Copies of this chain bind each other. A is one copy, B any other.
Amino acid sequence: MRYSIIGTGGIGGYYGGRLAQAGNDVHFLLHSDYEYVKEHGLTVDSVNGDFYLPAPQVYREADELPLSDVVLVCLKTTNNHLIPELLKTAADAHTVVILIQNGIGVEEDVQGMLPGIQLVAGLAFICTAKAGPGHINHQCYGQINLGNYSCKDGALLSRIADDFTNAGIPAHIVEYKEARWKKAVWNMPFNGMTVALNTQTDLLLKNPATRQLIREQMMEIVGAARALGVNGVDEDFVEKMIAMTDKMTPYSPSMKLDYDFQRPMEIRYIYSRPLAIARAAGAPMHKLEMLEAELKFLGEYIK
């Protein structure tokens, strides 16, 4: 199968690299690293085994990408206005476009821009980052969950999950809404709170006041999910997320890295959209609303 990777950072570079290493036909869209990767290839340091692609198929312009069976969109959501332009040649009505992105409401908005496209949510459980030009560092986990938003070709989606799994990326097809809201249970408290208090996950859970606050924020999401009829987002899941985070090494979520490097934060999809959806469903998430306001204030000072 033919894959195109839009955005070859930590996620796109790792997943695309694994798929190429396993023998799939993978095409990478690159921006600043194009020249480097063209000349030196793509190096991946991974807890699951390092590997090197000497001559990956790389492109500088989106309209050079070939029509593909699958497109992995691995952009920050702050660039989502570019998606129609970036998918112009790579995707048609038969392509499955997987948005490996944070937040809630992404598929709805992309579908609004591209009504004819088949969309799948990609929920990545992975620690991976670009270490340098053409150099990806994959530190932990790696699983991807696929939530079907508007893909009519179930057989193709199953083949994609198999390709991932055969490439060493555990992949599961999950219920779309459940997957997005479950991810929000971790993402909404930790992304923003590490920015608001300039800290990492471990210290938030060490202080009794913020540990309690994180739990209350997670319970706000449980309340919203209940009002929305989303399954699987309950108090047990909250306790599981806290226990999991307790075991993690001190961690800076993506929004904390964005803020520290003065890049735009993904406030719209990690906060504004789910907060508005919850409020409209009669289950406002008060503490997370306050966090959104604090992030908007802090974000104003990013150059």
Chain A interfacial residues counted at CB < 8 A: 24
| Contact, CB under 8 Å: A296 / B210 | yes
Interface residue A64 (Cβ < 8 Å from any Cβ of B): no
Closest chain B residue to A208 by CB distance?
A: B296
Knowing A287-B286, A287-B289, say if A296 contacts B196 (CB, 8 Å): no
Summarize A's interface: helix, strand, loop or mixed. Answer: helix
Integer count of this chain's copies in the complex = 2
Annotate A285-303 by CB proximity to B: 1 below 8 A, 0 otherwise: 0110111111011101000
Interface residue A197 (Cβ < 8 Å from any Cβ of B): yes
Knowing A196-B196, A298-B197, say if A212 contacts B287 (CB, 8 Å): no
Interface residue A244 (Cβ < 8 Å from any Cβ of B): no
Residues of the B chain whose Cβ atoms lie less than 8 Å from the Cβ of A298: 197
Residues of the B chain whose Cβ atoms lie less than 8 Å from the Cβ of A297: 197, 199, 203-204, 207, 209-210
Can you list 11 A-B pairs, Cβ within 8 angstroms, ordered by A?
A: A196-B196, A197-B298, A199-B297, A207-B296, A207-B300, A209-B293, A210-B296, A213-B289, A286-B286, A287-B290, A290-B290
Task: Name A212's contact: one of B196, B208, B212, B293 (CB within 8 Å).
Answer: B293
- Taking A203-B297, A209-B293 as given, write out 7 further A-B residue pairs in contact, using a Cβ cutoff of 8 Å, ordered by the A residue number: A196-B294, A207-B296, A207-B297, A207-B300, A210-B297, A212-B293, A213-B289
- Chain A residues packing against B (C-beta within 8 Å): 196-197, 199, 203-204, 207-210, 212-213, 216, 286-287, 289-294, 296-298, 300
Cα separation A196 to B293 with both chains bound (whole Å):
12
Cα separation A142 to B296 with both chains bound (whole Å):
35
Residues of the B chain whose Cβ atoms lie less than 8 Å from the Cβ of A289: 213, 216, 287
Cα separation A208 to B296 with both chains bound (whole Å):
9
Q: Smallest CB–CB gap between A209 and chain B, Å?
A: 4
Closest chain B residue to A213 by CB distance?
A: B293
Cα separation A207 to B297 with both chains bound (whole Å):
6
Interface centre among A289, A291, A293, A294 (most CB of B within 10 A): A293
Cα separation A53 to B207 with both chains bound (whole Å):
48
Interface centre among A203, A212, A296 (most CB of B within 10 A): A296
Residues of the B chain whose Cβ atoms lie less than 8 Å from the Cβ of A292: 209
Closest chain B residue to A288 by CB distance?
A: B290
| Contact, CB under 8 Å: B296 / A209 | yes
Closest chain B residue to A220 by CB distance?
A: B286
Q: Smallest CB–CB gap between A272 and chain B, Å?
A: 10
Q: Smallest CB–CB gap between A195 and chain B, Å?
A: 11
Closest chain B residue to A291 by CB distance?
A: B290
Residues of the B chain whose Cβ atoms lie less than 8 Å from the Cβ of A196: 196, 294
Q: Smallest CB–CB gap between A281 and chain B, Å?
A: 17
Closest chain B residue to A267 by CB distance?
A: B209
Cα separation A212 to B210 with both chains bound (whole Å):
23
Q: Smallest CB–CB gap between A76 and chain B, Å?
A: 21
